[in-house]
Amino acid sequence: MLQCQWRSHYYILALKGTIKAGGRNGMIREILKLGDSRLYEISEEVTKDDTDMIREWVADLHDTLMDYRETYGAGRAVALPQIGVAKRLLYMYTDRPYVFINPAMEFPDDEKYELMDDCMSFPGLMVKVSRYKRAVIHYMDEEFKPRTMELEGDLSELLQHEYDHLDGILATMRAVDNKSLYMGQMKREL
């Protein structure tokens, strides 16, 4: 039920190859790791005063996410607080890039499911969590135009996870019980 009519100019830039790791449009940023106190802070809203920074933030999130994918073979989204900027902005790259500014989530029903969740802030650690099966995310695009997207299944879970980062909540804090943490091994292709 992914429904979105907005097409980001970052998608076009990515297709043209102008967003590159460490390039003039962005850079690979360090992902904050579990235990870093900045991950537990509540992020501030992005304002029109931040407009000049949005393009840079998104380029940095893109490069950081692509680097993580190359290193670990995983990663579909990242929240701005994960790279040390406490602002309410999410970046997702599935079939194309999506940017969510000041998102708000609602859940059309109470149906939940349990799954194993991971996070770029703690590679190799898996956490059993419970998430809503369906969600609606309201957000602004890069021109501060309001948008809405309906989500179901893995995309609903993914954006709930990323949204939690904006409120200083990590998947470890959502574990279904105190025995729901598992160490895995992130595999790197050589």
Confidence grade of residue 185 (pLDDT, cut at 50, 70, 90): low
- Positions marked active-site: 162
Mean pLDDT, rounded, for 29-56? 96
**Domain edges within the chain:** 9-183
Mean pLDDT, rounded, for 148-168? 97
pLDDT value of position 143: 86
- Radius of gyration of the chain, Cα coordinates, nearest whole angstrom: 16
pLDDT digits (tens, 9 = 90+) for 69-128: 999 989 999 999 999 999 999 999 999 999 999 999 999 999 999 999 999 999 999 999
Distances (CA, A) of 125 to 58, 88, 122, 145, 173: 26, 25, 6, 37, 13
pTM for the structure as a whole: 0.84
SS3 159: helix
Tell how strand 112-117 and strand 125-132 pair up.
Answer: antiparallel
Separation of alpha carbons 35 and 50, rounded Å: 28
Distances (CA, A) of 13 to 21, 93, 151: 13, 13, 25
Residue pointed to by tokens 């969600």: 135
CATH of domain 9-183: 3.90.45.10
Mean pLDDT, rounded, for 145-155? 97
